[in-house]
Amino acid sequence: MGTPSAGINFKDLSDTSYVQIPTNPLDRVIGQEDAVRMAKIAAMQRRHLLLVGPPGVGKSMIAQAMSFYLERPKQEVRVVHNPQYPERPFVEIKSLSEINREKEEMSSVEGEIYDPRDVPPTIAERLGYRCGKCGFYSLPAEATCPNCNNPKVQNVQQGPFGDVFNVIGAAFGVQNSTERVTSTRRIGEREEVIIYERYGDRIRALDEKTLERRRKIEKKSPSKVIVPVSRTPFILATGASETELLGDVRHDPYGGHPQLGTMPYERVIAGSVHEAHEGVLFVDEITHLGNLQRSILTAMQERSFPITGRNPQSAGASVRVDGVPADFILVAACNIQDLQYILSPLRSRIVGGGYELLMHTTMPDNPENRLRYLQFIAQEIIVDGKIPHMTMEAAEMVIEEGKRRGKEIDKKENALTLRLRELGGLIRAAGDLAVMEESRLIEKGNVAEALKTYLPVEEKIKKYYGNLANAMSTETTISQKSEEYLMKYHNYLEDRSYD
């Protein structure tokens, strides 16, 4: 980390396009050095984290950037059909090496792929690749030969193993049996059955061994991947509903009927706590979860959480999968006022296995921190992608506004505010004005104009109504009046409904 844009002097730069942006997302967070350091430790040591502070100071930014230090997931979670009791599917955890072995196994049952010219001509003809009249090769989709214009003869005759193959074919969801032919080939002393099938512009050949292996894989108990190994290790659970957070079992109108319905295991859906397994579960504004905090605590204690159908009216309600892994690190954010509403055993769990951090709201106004601000401005412009860079004079104006807010809002002298989301809004507003003027850079004038329109609406209200209290009383009476009116109207409608 250290000083961003170290060694660069303000006066050396003509505009913000020359400012270096760190590649590490944690280093893009300015003015929160302690929190950033602890977040890095939490990610690498797998500790929980609670970020406390007002909106727009970088809590989400830090949480998200932690994924930079997280290891890739190594496990895949599946639910497996339980033949004795379908409504209690099993959980299966597969390691990366097991998954790779399975993949190899599957590719070995794909058979061999041939160019149509490399299989016996009669086979190519029967599959529709070769013209029986002139020997020209074309795709089976073309019914007539593009060379001689004769219809391509398609022989749908089946070999002695046709029926056996149809069973396997049906199991693999292959319907059209005219797309394959059965033949034999000599291997040394022995004659073996071989099946050729269409495979795009190529032909796939399945020998006896491949067919045998296909049959074996088919026999293995059916399962569904609910948490894939190729997932992001960072899961955002903001405003999550119960089902989103804890998983669900979908409804089946046929109630899991063996022929008509979908099997219970196929209807199981993982929640955020499961998707965050081996990674980070980020819960922004954690107190908004209310009672669901309890479930998060349970998941943290057990490192797993059962999945059940959460709608009591649904056929999914009778399905339950126990022991679904949910070994995540919790990163929670909340503002200072809400701190008291965090479930206290959850908080002590975080403290016991992690860190609570208070975010800064300002940083001292000094040359080093002004450079950090410059980095922030350049980042905002680049991330936005729709506005041009900014001249140094304009950037200094933004910094001055940061200082003004440090004093007005944060009540700190000689400090720069770190409530940067709002300042980002100012930069974008100035940028939009520059775009409208077709200016190559955001100029001082654009920032000045944006500052006028970008006033917080409370300040606009003060200008318009004189003061806030004034506005409140005027508007409350008006809205009360209209509410009264609505009530009367509503009653009128209700009365009408009885006649």
Ligand X SMILES: Nc1ncnc2c1ncn2[C@@H]1O[C@H](COP(=O)(O)OP(=O)(O)O)[C@@H](O)[C@H]1O
Closest-CA residue to 87 (of 359, 420, 319, 269): 319
Cα distance between residue 429 and residue 454, in whole Å? 7
> Judged by CB under 5 A, which stretch of 59-67, 199-207, 350-358, 459-467 contacts Mg ion?
59-67
Cα distance between residue 240 and residue 243, in whole Å? 8
Residue 61 binds which one of ligand X, Mg ion, none, with CB within 5 to 8 A depending on kind?
A: ligand X
Instruction: Using the minimum distance from each CB to ligand X, give the nearer residue, 394 or 418.
Output: 418
Residue 57 binds which one of Mg ion, ligand X, none, with CB within 5 to 8 A depending on kind?
A: ligand X
Instruction: Using the minimum distance from each CB to ligand X, give the nearer residue, 43 or 61.
Output: 61
Question: Minimum CB separation from ligand X for residue 481, in Å?
Answer: 37
Closest-CB residue for ligand X?
58
Question: Minimum CB separation from Mg ion for residue 356, in Å?
Answer: 17
**Per-residue 3-state assignment (H helix, E strand, C coil) for the chain:** CCCCCCCCCHHHCCEHHHCCCCCCHHHHCCCCHHHHHHHHHHHHHCCEEEEECCCCCCHHHHHHHHHHHCCCCCEEEEEECCCCCCCCCEEEEEEHHHHHHHHHHHHHCCCEEECHHHCCHHHHHHCCCECCCCCCECCCCCCECCCCCCECCCCCCCCCCHHHHHHHHHHCCCCCHHHEEEEEEEECCEEEEEEEEEECCEEEEEEHHHHHHHHHHHHCCCEEEEECCCCCCEEECCCCCHHHHHCEECCCCCCCCCCCCCCHHHHEECCHHHHCCCCEEEECCHHHHCCHHHHHHHHHHHCECCEECCCCCCHHHHCEECCCECCCEEEEEECHHHHHHCCHHHHHHHHHCEEEEECCCEEECCHHHHHHHHHHHHHHHHHHCCCCCEEHHHHHHHHHHHHHHHHHCCCCCCEEECCHHHHHHHHHHHHHHHHHCCCCCECHHHHHHHHHHCCCHHHHHHHHHCCHHHHHHHHHHHHHHHHHHHHHHHHHHHHHCCC
Residue 32 binds which one of Mg ion, ligand X, none, with CB within 5 to 8 A depending on kind?
A: ligand X
Question: Minimum CB separation from ligand X for residue 281, in Å?
Answer: 16
Question: Minimum CB separation from ligand X for residue 81, in Å?
Answer: 42
Question: Minimum CB separation from ligand X for residue 422, in Å?
Answer: 8
Question: Minimum CB separation from Mg ion for residue 51, in Å?
Answer: 9
Instruction: Using the minimum distance from each CB to ligand X, give the nearer residue, 57 or 343.
Output: 57
Instruction: Using the minimum distance from each CB to Mg ion, give the nearer residue, 239 or 466.
Output: 239
Residue 420 binds which one of ligand X, Mg ion, none, with CB within 5 to 8 A depending on kind?
A: ligand X
Question: Minimum CB separation from ligand X for residue 380, in Å?
Answer: 6
Instruction: Using the minimum distance from each CB to ligand X, give the nearer residue, 60 or 391.
Output: 60
Residues in 120-149 at the binding interface with Mg ion, rule: CB under 5 A: none
Residues in 307-326 at the binding interface with Mg ion, rule: CB under 5 A: none
Question: Minimum CB separation from Mg ion for residue 59, in Å?
Answer: 5
Instruction: Using the minimum distance from each CB to Mg ion, give the nearer residue, 62 or 315.
Output: 62
Instruction: Using the minimum distance from each CB to ligand X, give the nearer residue, 227 or 418.
Output: 418
Instruction: Using the minimum distance from each CB to ligand X, give the nearer residue, 59 or 214.
Output: 59
Residue 4 binds which one of Mg ion, ligand X, none, with CB within 5 to 8 A depending on kind?
A: none
Residues that bind ligand X (CB under 6 A): 28-32, 55-61, 333, 376, 380, 418, 420-421, 424
Instruction: Using the minimum distance from each CB to ligand X, give the nearer residue, 55 or 120.
Output: 55
**Residues in contact with 95: Cβ distance below 8 Å, sequence separation at least 6, in sequence order:** 74, 75
What mask, x for binding Mg ion by CB under 5 A, covers residues 235 to 254? Answer: --------------------
What mask, x for binding Mg ion by CB under 5 A, covers residues 253 to 292? Answer: -------------------------------x--------
Instruction: Using the minimum distance from each CB to ligand X, give the nearer residue, 31 or 73.
Output: 31
Cα distance between residue 149 and residue 12, in whole Å? 74
Question: Minimum CB separation from ligand X for residue 363, in Å?
Answer: 9
Question: Minimum CB separation from Mg ion for residue 295, in Å?
Answer: 22
Residue 281 binds which one of ligand X, Mg ion, none, with CB within 5 to 8 A depending on kind?
A: none
Size of the site for Mg ion (CB under 5 A): 3
Question: Minimum CB separation from Mg ion for residue 253, in Å?
Answer: 40
Cα distance between residue 412 and residue 364, in whole Å? 9
Say whether residue 60 binds Mg ion (CB under 5 A): yes
Residue 454 binds which one of Mg ion, ligand X, none, with CB within 5 to 8 A depending on kind?
A: none
Neighbours of 460 (CB within 10 A): 12
Q: What is the dihedral of CA 159, 161, 162, 167, to 10 degrees?
A: -170
Residue 35 binds which one of ligand X, Mg ion, none, with CB within 5 to 8 A depending on kind?
A: none
Question: Minimum CB separation from Mg ion for residue 60, in Å?
Answer: 3
Cα–chain center distance at 128? 44
Instruction: Using the minimum distance from each CB to ligand X, give the nearer residue, 56 or 111.
Output: 56
Residue 329 binds which one of Mg ion, ligand X, none, with CB within 5 to 8 A depending on kind?
A: none
Cα distance between residue 22 and residue 299, in whole Å? 36
- Interface residue list for Mg ion (CB under 5 A): 59-60, 284
